[in-house]
Amino acid sequence: MRKNMWMLLVLAMFSFVNADDAGNKNRKANKLYNQGKYEEALKLYEDALLLDPPNGKLKMNRGSAQYKLGDFDGAERSYLDALSSQNEKKVQADAHYNLGNVQYKQGEQLEMEGNAASARGKYSQALENYINTLKLRPNDKDAKWNLQMAHRKVDMLEGQEDKPGDQDQDGGGDKDDQEGGENDKKDDKNKGDDQSKDGDRGDDGQNQENQRQERDMKQEEAQRLIEQYADDADTLNKPRFQRGRIRQPEKDW
């Protein structure tokens, strides 16, 4: 019995020492971060996490350093990890906000590469994280502004995705029109053969409709939050806030 108590006491002391060492490394890393030495700060945050792996605040700080270094995929993983391991409301709100900023940046990169569909997906994820931020912190003006920016991006890219389909139907050369007509005739003649194909199309159409409904619900919620949390229209529509500004690292604890 005494041996077990002694072992528990040793483990508790060891955990305390590790946490204290992790805190010291975090404070040193924060100083480096504030000096713009992000690579050195990241190394110390990672060292601190080896001593205190469950620490959600350290994961947040690591993500912020990764973001500053342009490692958006790494930052996204760090913020998601922080969300799963930290129940503190402030950390949760900051993690959602930072995660939204990372996903917005990823969307911008994909958009520049011409991948509109994937970009819209990232902007939609950012939109959802800004919504979650505002649920936890309703007066966060940066999140309000970023929410509106992401909402506009999703709407814009949806409009761009609709245009190519319209052009295929309305435009194109005579050859395409003729081939389309011949294909239509073949479809009419082979209705029996196409029954299974029609079934597949129906499933795809249902999936697309479900995705569209889910997307519309998110956008409706975003619009509702924009209206609900805006102090006034002028305040929200002025770009007073720095979109993409990552919250400062968590300080001493």
pLDDT digits (tens, 9 = 90+) for 37-75: 999 999 999 999 999 999 999 999 999 999 999 999 999
Return the pLDDT at 131: 95
Can you read off the two tokens belonging to residue 96? 């959602």
Q: Give start and end residues of each alpha helix (H) in the chain.
A: 2-34, 38-51, 56-68, 72-85, 89-112, 116-136, 141-170, 174-189, 195-229, 233-237
**CA–CA dist 75, 69 (Å, integer):** 9
pLDDT averaged over every residue in the chain: 74
Is pTM beyond 0.75? Reply is no
Residue type, 173: G
pLDDT at residue 51 in the model? 94
Residue in the structure block whose two tokens are 């011949």: 182
pLDDT at 168: 45
Residue 246: its pLDDT value, please? 73
pLDDT at 71: 97
Each residue's pLDDT tens digit, 201-223: 345 555 656 656 666 666 666 66
Residue 247's pLDDT band (cuts 50, 70, 90): confident
Q: Tokens 């029954």 label which residue?
A: 195
**What does the pLDDT read at residue 224?**
64
